[in-house]
Chain A
Amino acid sequence: MSQRLRVNPIMCAGHGMCAELLPELITLDPWGYPIIARGPVPDELTPMASRAAAACPTLALLIVEEEGR
């Protein structure tokens, strides 16, 4: 099992909170919308990833569980 981050582009309002909380994996484009690093969330970052997802004002940042390869 591994975790991946997804952004629901319809819900995301470009608040940028996720990039503040998880700069390791999320950067912002010039309009303030998130760009997510490719690949699964490294284990040591999963707590911060959950925190960023819970903090997103519109709950647009999702953590999806994947069958790991």
Chain B
Amino acid sequence: MSSFSHGPFLWYATRAAGLVTLVLLTASMALGILNAGRFRTRRWPRFLVQGLHRNLSLLALAFLALHIGTTVIDTYVSIGLPDALIPFLSPYKRFWLGLGALASDLMIVLAVTSVTRLHLGHRAWRLIHWAGYLCWPVAVMHGLGTGTDHGRAWMVGLTLGCVAAVAGAAAYRAARLLPARRLAR
């Protein structure tokens, strides 16, 4: 057993990658909601909002892979790849880790169906894309409940910031769409 796979390095890497994934997923979520709320300004045309939503989602997926990879390689607690992908399989922190596995699965489904959207058709893609509203809160709860840092002031602060960002985007969208009674897509 090398010090790499057993030492604290991977544990730090896992936590850092998890935090980055949370921030990226939050940004993607907020942009997705803003975009559906038809947010645009002179300096932020819609294709920019949508392109960022897309690219940040894919970047979040890359950090998710890192987050899972470092967790699995780390031998300090034995969490295997199946535990990371099949919700509530792992005996270690079964509930909180299970939420992480569920959010990961949803992220993968969201990304795959979006990248193949042209073949899937709009209706099916749109239906599946609603899973974003499940994915993000589940990921946030996983972050709050699982980590070494849970309960620390800065972790709670970061999470509150994430919630505020998504709530802000949702409020913008509601304010923008409700009074106009625009037809839904």
User: What is A's interface to B at a CB cutoff of 8 Å?
Assistant: 11, 13, 15-17, 20-21, 54-55, 57-60
Contacts and interface: CB of A to CB of B under 8 A. Distances in A.
Contacts of B94: none
Nearest to B118: A54
Interface of B: 35-36, 38, 45-47, 50-51, 117-118, 121-122, 183, 185
Given A13-B185, A15-B38, A20-B45, A59 B122 contact: yes
A14 B136 CA distance: 28
B122 A16 contact: no
B47 A57 contact: no
A54 B46 CA distance: 14
Contacts of A59: 117-118, 121-122
Contacts, number: 29
A11 B46 CA distance: 18
B122 A58 contact: yes
A10 to B, nearest CB: 11
Contact of A57 (B51, B121, B185): B185
Contacts of B183: 13
A48 B118 CA distance: 16
A32 B50 CA distance: 18
A13 B46 CA distance: 14
A17 B118 contact: no
9 contacts: A11-B122, A13-B185, A15-B46, A16-B46, A17-B46, A17-B50, A59-B118, A59-B121, A60-B122
B185 A55 contact: no
A57 B118 contact: no
B66 to A, nearest CB: 28
